Amino acid sequence: MSDRFLLVRHGETVHNVAGIAQGWNDSALSEKGQQQVRALARRLSGHRADALYSSPLGRALATAQAIADATGLEIRTLDGLREMNYGRWENKSFLDVRREDADIYHRWIADADCPCPEGESHTGLSQRLQSAFEQIASEAKHPIIVTHGTALRVAATTLLGLPAMASRHFAQHNAALNIFVRRAERWILELWNDTTHCSSLEKQP
């Protein structure tokens, strides 16, 4: 049974820089993203994790591979760790989504049960993350879990027992480290959105 989750977001992608919704589609890590994941991997190598789980999407797998190289852990993929399915919004900029689908967008950010057009709701994402976490908790004690921005924000509400839409109040940067620890039957947030391992990259010209 897990007593610590090390949850991380993938490194920066080309579409992240452009503000494009990726969802279940994909985008390669940018040059900066590749540097970020190497720095993240070096940091995680000191955490003595016993398992490594990842979303099967390419940007997450690229991040997980850097961690695997640094830790010697084998990557186990779980579909439940995918990013939110944005449906028709995928490969569009969020600015265009807010302008072109304003009514449904505002319902989607206010109502946890409202799905994206042909996509997923926050409630649906929370439910599949919960199932993934239950499986991981039954298999590993100190796992590293590689997933995505919206998935991580919703994951925080799932683990902490908060309303799913509280996720909109959580920032989550690329290659961030988040640590949850189990206390009796509760998960406690110990560290959130920590990118100090990337601080030297921000100083580069």
Catalytic positions: 10, 83
Distances in whole angstroms, Cα of residue 102 to Cα of each of 97, 150, 161, 181: 7, 19, 29, 38
Q: How far apart are CA 75 and CA 92, in angstroms?
A: 30
Closest CA to 109 of 159, 175, 66, 166: 166
DSSP letters, 121-189, are -HHHHHHHHHHHHHHHHHH-SSEEEEE-HHHHHHHHHHHHT--GGGGGG----TT-EEEEEEETTEEEE
Length of the chain in terms of residues written: 205
Q: How far apart are CA 201 and CA 134, in angstroms?
A: 35
Q: Which tokens hold the place of 29?
A: 């890590």
Sign of CA dihedral 51, 55, 58, 60: negative
Q: Which tokens hold the place of 74?
A: 């084998």
